[in-house]
């Protein structure tokens, strides 16, 4: 069964918009990271769909790199949450203002 590239790109675009809205509208670090994960998944889906449509494996290699990036992003997010919980802070994004260099 072949799925047209336009359908794959439509789903990828929808996922990217959902992730962008989630990352911008939420105040929790966890929900911002979930939004970024959605956006990375959308990019990966677009790469794989394009690779399959054009008969090239480069898009699948890019998807594997994006999976590694997503794993690193999840590890960083969990580290930030554990650090915040140990310090008695909440997961609210306003609690992470010390990274600004002040």
The model's pTM is 0.81
Task: Say if CB 73 and CB 40 are below 8 A apart.
Answer: yes
What stretches in the chain show pLDDT beneath 70?
Answer: 98-102
What pLDDT does residue 92 have? 76
What pLDDT does residue 83 have? 80
What pLDDT does residue 94 have? 73
Query: For 79-100, what is each residue's pLDDT tens digit?
Result: 888 887 787 777 777 777 766 6
């Amino acid at each position: 069964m072949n799925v047209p590239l336009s359908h794959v790109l439509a789903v990828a675009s929808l996922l990217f918009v959902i992730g962008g809205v989630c990352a911008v509208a939420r105040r929790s670090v966890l929900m911002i990271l979930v939004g970024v994960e959605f956006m990375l998944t959308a990019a990966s889906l677009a790469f794989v769909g394009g690779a399959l449509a054009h008969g090239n494996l480069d898009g699948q290699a890019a998807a594997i790199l994006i999976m590694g990036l997503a794993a690193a992003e999840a590890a960083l997010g969990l580290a930030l949450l554990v650090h915040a919980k140990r310090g008695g802070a909440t997961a609210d994004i306003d609690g992470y203002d010390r990274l600004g260099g002040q």
